[in-house]
Amino acid sequence: MEATPQPGTVRPGGRTARVREAVFQAAGDVLAEKGFDALDLAEIARIAGVGKTTVYRRWGTAGALAADLLDDMAEQSLPRARTGSVDDDLRANARLVVKTLTDPRQGRLFKALIAASLCDEQAARALHRFYAVRISEWAGCVTDAVGRGELPEGLDAHRVIANVSAPLYYALLNTGAALDDAAADRAAAAALAAARAGIA
């Protein structure tokens, strides 16, 4: 007997893709404007212009919807840079993080999703998957640099990339320090220095 899928785990196609897109747009807007506590499925259905029953049947809970939204964001994210220089690649990674976190909508959306991950297990797992996908995408910059002789062998490429974004998320969530290109460049330079020293 085939197992029944959990709400929010089936990827639709064809006509239902339009429903999914409308719901994600509405959910993202609500998260960015009001936070996770305001993510009510009935209200999302109303805003998206779709049937309430459809939304409840597909996602079931606000956490499942937030998790599916995060998975979609990971799939839609831009591919990594391929500049031929590890300095430029890591700087591009850091600047993309800053651009995302300072975007009027995306920045607030990420804060809401991070908050959701602290109180909802599905959202937490999705956030972990999101970062794993993005770090894996950009880890190729490090392995390419090792192959070119720019970085020492034996590095944990995923850790190097995590080191780029970590201080930027720390500034966003803890210190309130300015997030700009200068901050991005400092984060990339620090991660690169650690990698060159073989610390990562």
| Pair 166, 107 in one domain | yes
Residue 49 sits in a domain whose CATH number is 1.10.10.60
Whether residue 45 is predicted with pLDDT greater than 60 in this model: the reply is: yes
Instruction: For 5-33, write each residue's pLDDT tens digit.
Output: 444 444 555 557 889 999 999 999 999 99
Residue 144 sits in a domain whose CATH number is 1.10.357.10
Structure tokens at 133: 């996908």
pLDDT for res 16: 77
> Angle between the 16-34 and 106-119 helix axes, to the nearest 10 degrees?
90
200, 199, 149, 173: which is closest to 101 by C-alpha?
A: 173
Instruction: For 116-131, write each residue's pLDDT tens digit.
Output: 898 889 889 989 999 9
Give the predicted TM-score (pTM) of the model: 0.82
36, 10, 56, 18: which is closest to 118 by C-alpha?
A: 36
Domain range enclosing 185: 77-196
